[in-house]
Structure 1
Amino acid sequence: MSQYKYLSGFGSHFSSEDERYPNSLPLGQNSPQVCPYKLYAEQLSGSAFTAPRTENVRTWLYRKLPSAVHQPFQPFKGATYFKQNWDEQPPNPNQLRWKPFDLPPQQGRKITFVEGLHTVCGAGDPRARHGLAIHIYSCNESMDNSAFYNSDGDFLIVPQQGILDITTEMGRMKVAPNEICVIPQGIRFAVSVNGPSRGYILEVYDGHFVLPDLGPIGANGLANPRDFETPVAWFNDQPIEDFQVISKFQGSLFVAQQNHSVFDVVAWHGNYVPYKYDLSKFMVINSVSFDHCDPSIFTVLTCPSLRAGTAIADFVIFPPRWSVQEHTFRPPYYHRNCMSEFMGLILGKYEAKEDGFAAGGATLHSIMTPHGPDVKCFDGASNAKLVPERIAEGTQAFMFESSLSLAVTKWGEDTCQKLDAAYYECWQALKDNFTLGKAQK
């Protein structure tokens, strides 16, 4: 893995070649008309050719065969619950909480990463290149002699259980729980696992994930560019006669056959590549005096909309940190939001709801749906001694936040059978302390 510094207009350009074949990258404008080792040159464009320089992303791939060498695509039937039909269920404004989503059994049916994709909620239309989808993956089998790519948008993958060994056209990455990876639109990849694995995926149609602006924070803070990593060039040199390429196109899946691996890139250069990030490297910014900062201070990556300061999707984490505010109710406050908030838990216990919200599960608080600490958390925080306190130790919760109103799929609300019908009860014992208490001076 090499460090990855292209995020939000840093303009970095990277190059890598398989160490088994040195000098496989053409050298500048004076390169011969035939690529070294007689490779094929192929450009992968992640933006319009005429996009501003700070937003223009593309990578040149030098490969054994062009990507166009495949048989016609046919419908792929292997992922029943991976679909973006936002009208199959009536709207539901209630607070929603899911118990941990099922893992595949240790014995029995083998399920690959693609076959184990399940769509929970989303909004928008991939044909119009606007919107997002939130998925769960649950798999127990490696993708041998197959690859997947998404024509509709970027994937931000959040492992919760099991290490993902991901092979991409640009090289390989291992992504463990408490790490994330981003596979940009169009890049082909395969996932290998060692046993039952589960995690979350945020898919965005509009553009690409970038680092949020820091404003008054200054040059350093939150997720630092130097901590992002991208693969080193590697290709499969074993002969393959039967290989499948699975494509997500306009919300549907298709498959094409070919007689060679897509992982045949000997060298590449550019700024449009997959990358990973270790969440433990996040530099937390927080208050050291009073009041409760908005959760936007925990934003790792964002996909901006055309409205300033408003995101199609933010990826936000709530990592271990020191809490030192005084005269302040420290847990998240009761809240109604013009954004949709989908939360997941990678490990540990979330401080605002230690009971009921479990690792591998999720919650969805839709636009203007009220939510906040449960009774136990409220009572404890109201009477806590306000001294510097280490919170969320051994915990990593995250949030996919969006300006779009998210619709829940039939699988998410019904078929998965993980929806907690009693979630609303966690607030029912809150008392009207105004009428019960005495005036305070």
Structure 2
Amino acid sequence: MAATTETPFTGASAKGPFTTTPSATDPYTYQVGFGNRFATEALPQALPQGCNTPQKCKYDLFSEQLNGTPFISPRASLLHAWFYRIRPSVAHKPFKKMPKNPDLEATFSPLNPNVDFTPQDLGWSKFELPQKSESVDFVQGLKTIAGHGDPTLKEGIAVHVYLANTPMRKKSFCNNDGDMLILPQEGRLDIQTEFGKMMVRPGELVVIQAGIRFTVGLPDGVGRGYIQEIYGAHYELPELGPIGSNGMALPRDFEIPVASFDVDQSTWEMVVKLTGELFVYEQNHTPYDVVAWHGNYAPYKYAMEKFISSATVDRDQSDPSIYCVLTAKSKIPGVSLSDFLVFTPKWCVTRNTFRPPYYHRNVATELMGMMYGQWAGSATQLEPGGLTYEPSYMPHGESYSRWKEATTVELQPQRIGEGAMAFMMHISAHTGLTKFALERSGTLQPIPEDTWDGFHASFLDHLKQAKSDLESCK
């Protein structure tokens, strides 16, 4: 019987670039890669070849550019995208100024009567969703908690929560003040953008840059979450330094929408935020008519469970900066505007180490929130949907009972944070709090008088030994 000759496995090629697979909770497909230049088309050959503005685009589409950085920025920092759309964005009615939203702020100066600066650490319980009798969409449910700087100076940050129970219908939002990092805590967000569609669940973050139009649906009926908005900068991946090529948030885990368009000639309401004020205009067509696009200025999402934690494996503690997912640069060289950190389950195996967070006075302001689970800290009341605030240079740390336990317990390898996810906004400047946060939120926790009572200076129990040791040094 003749021996079987195996055919060599040659010539196998990919049919196209990698895209994600839809799931039961996310019906959409995504391209992957942080900072990549993408090219995507919903109709074949809708993208022109060899130029951006041909005399006549296929299907008589309009070419339109969106710039996220000035034209003459260094090539390495240039951010822009080209759209090929059914109608240009300029086709709309005149603007009208909307009534002032008293819970929305953009300028954080001591001169702003709606902002206070305090050295007192504070906490908020879960921010309450709107009553069922109310109808509040994402834009209407924006509430500013804290911030610093001013969008007109292209420097600063604003921290908001959103509390909504109604999807945006025939309504689009465009934030001209800065890039928004949005963190759902309860309820998925079904986000339609000019670049395509994204479904974002609790445990994921989504970044929608300045100037991009989007609409938020609520497939689970409600939406509560956090927003970190940055002025004059864009989010970047932190440098890896001695960690090397791999670790932290992997670039390939960031997901970017593919082109998707609607044909809709009904009336749409377009809301624009500028210096914290809201403006509105109407247009007789959907803003989501982009048939194809290419570029590197595009929204993206990231599943924070994928973050690769690094920590010491023998003794001592690392600073929390090792949990940085995204960072934004300030105008001061070497100083970030804000670092966004995430705390996910991990192993703690250190020996001869005080394992809880060490006592600390930080130049940065720390704002912490929680997606789900239970916070292990002993001196703060952090719950999912709430916030804590540790102002710049003010001391914070664990309770005396936690210190006593941590300094006497037998150390064993320990899994910590199981079933929980928390985050920190590590903000470099003094951060003001809004009147909404301090007076109208209804969730500001009372300041306990006795949190730090009962701290025993155990050194005083060793005065005799200390005196003896000093005598022996003579």
Under a length normalisation based on structure 2, what TM-score does the superposition of the two structures give? 0.88
Secondary structure (helix, strand or coil) at the match of 1:286 reads coil
Looking at structure 1, the residues matched to 331 and 53 of structure 2 have their Cα atoms a distance apart, in angstroms, of: 40
In the TM superposition, what is the alpha-carbon distance from 1:6 to its structure 2 partner? Answer: 3.6
Task: Kindly provide the amino acid, as one letter, of the partner of residue 24 in structure 1.
Answer: A
Secondary structure (helix, strand or coil) at the match of 1:290 reads coil
- Indicate if the aligned counterparts of 2:155 and 2:331 stay in contact, CA closer than 8 A: no
- Indicate if the aligned counterparts of 1:320 and 1:390 stay in contact, CA closer than 8 A: yes
Looking at structure 2, the residues matched to 388 and 424 of structure 1 have their Cα atoms a distance apart, in angstroms, of: 36
In the TM superposition, what is the alpha-carbon distance from 1:35 to its structure 2 partner? Answer: 0.6
Secondary structure (helix, strand or coil) at the match of 2:459 reads helix
1:316 equivalent in structure 2: 341
- Indicate if the aligned counterparts of 1:79 and 1:116 stay in contact, CA closer than 8 A: no
Structure showing greater radius of gyration is: 2
Looking at structure 2, the residues matched to 67 and 330 of structure 1 have their Cα atoms a distance apart, in angstroms, of: 54
In the TM superposition, what is the alpha-carbon distance from 1:29 to its structure 2 partner? Answer: 3.4
1:270 equivalent in structure 2: 295
Looking at structure 1, the residues matched to 80 and 54 of structure 2 have their Cα atoms a distance apart, in angstroms, of: 22
Match among 38, 43, 46 for residue 14 of structure 1:
38
Looking at structure 2, the residues matched to 152 and 2 of structure 1 have their Cα atoms a distance apart, in angstroms, of: 27
In the TM superposition, what is the alpha-carbon distance from 1:3 to its structure 2 partner? Answer: 3.3
1:69-80 matched pairs, under 5 angstroms: 69-77=91-99, 79-80=101-102
Same amino acid, percent of matched pairs: 41
Looking at structure 2, the residues matched to 198 and 94 of structure 1 have their Cα atoms a distance apart, in angstroms, of: 26
Shift of the 375–223 alpha-carbon distance from structure 1 to 2, 3 Å rule, reads same
Task: Kindly provide the amino acid, as one letter, of the partner of residue 115 in structure 1.
Answer: Q
Looking at structure 1, the residues matched to 128 and 147 of structure 2 have their Cα atoms a distance apart, in angstroms, of: 20
1:370-413 deviation per Cα after TM superposition (whole angstroms, max 9, x unaligned): 11123453333223321111001111110011111110000011
Secondary structure (helix, strand or coil) at the match of 1:383 reads coil
1:155 equivalent in alignment to 2:180: yes
- Indicate if the aligned counterparts of 2:100 and 2:277 stay in contact, CA closer than 8 A: no
In the TM superposition, what is the alpha-carbon distance from 1:173 to its structure 2 partner? Answer: 0.5
Task: Kindly provide the amino acid, as one letter, of the partner of residue 201 in structure 2.
Answer: A
2:304 equivalent in structure 1: 279
1:3 equivalent in alignment to 2:27: no
Shift of the 344–253 alpha-carbon distance from structure 1 to 2, 3 Å rule, reads same
Looking at structure 2, the residues matched to 150 and 110 of structure 1 have their Cα atoms a distance apart, in angstroms, of: 22
- Indicate if the aligned counterparts of 2:138 and 2:164 stay in contact, CA closer than 8 A: yes
- Indicate if the aligned counterparts of 1:119 and 1:411 stay in contact, CA closer than 8 A: yes
1:230 equivalent in structure 2: 256
1:100 equivalent in structure 2: 126
1:52 equivalent in alignment to 2:52: no
1:163-222 deviation per Cα after TM superposition (whole angstroms, max 9, x unaligned): 011111000001000100000111110110132221000000021000000011100010
- Indicate if the aligned counterparts of 2:237 and 2:327 stay in contact, CA closer than 8 A: yes
1:209 equivalent in structure 2: 235
1:290-310 deviation per Cα after TM superposition (whole angstroms, max 9, x unaligned): 111000000000001233431
In the TM superposition, what is the alpha-carbon distance from 1:430 to its structure 2 partner? Answer: 2.7
Secondary structure (helix, strand or coil) at the match of 1:426 reads coil
In the TM superposition, what is the alpha-carbon distance from 1:353 to its structure 2 partner? Answer: 3.4
Looking at structure 2, the residues matched to 245 and 309 of structure 1 have their Cα atoms a distance apart, in angstroms, of: 38
In the TM superposition, what is the alpha-carbon distance from 1:108 to its structure 2 partner? Answer: 0.8
Task: Kindly provide the amino acid, as one letter, of the partner of residue 203 in structure 1.
Answer: E
In the TM superposition, what is the alpha-carbon distance from 1:422 to its structure 2 partner? Answer: 2.6
Match among 338, 345, 359 for residue 334 of structure 1:
359
1:56-105 deviation per Cα after TM superposition (whole angstroms, max 9, x unaligned): 01000011111111111112237441122432244211011111111123
Task: Kindly provide the amino acid, as one letter, of the partner of residue 14 in structure 1.
Answer: F
In the TM superposition, what is the alpha-carbon distance from 1:32 to its structure 2 partner? Answer: 4.6
1:41 equivalent in structure 2: 63
Looking at structure 2, the residues matched to 247 and 94 of structure 1 have their Cα atoms a distance apart, in angstroms, of: 34
1:402 equivalent in structure 2: 427
1:380-395 matched pairs, under 5 angstroms: 380-395=405-420
2:7 equivalent in structure 1: none
Shift of the 267–367 alpha-carbon distance from structure 1 to 2, 3 Å rule, reads same
Unaligned runs of 5+ in 1: none
1:200 equivalent in structure 2: 226
RMSD of aligned Cα (Å): 1.8
Match among 431, 434, 458 for residue 433 of structure 1:
458
Secondary structure (helix, strand or coil) at the match of 1:247 reads strand
1:118 equivalent in alignment to 2:136: no
Looking at structure 2, the residues matched to 304 and 40 of structure 1 have their Cα atoms a distance apart, in angstroms, of: 35
Match among 54, 64, 67 for residue 89 of structure 2:
67
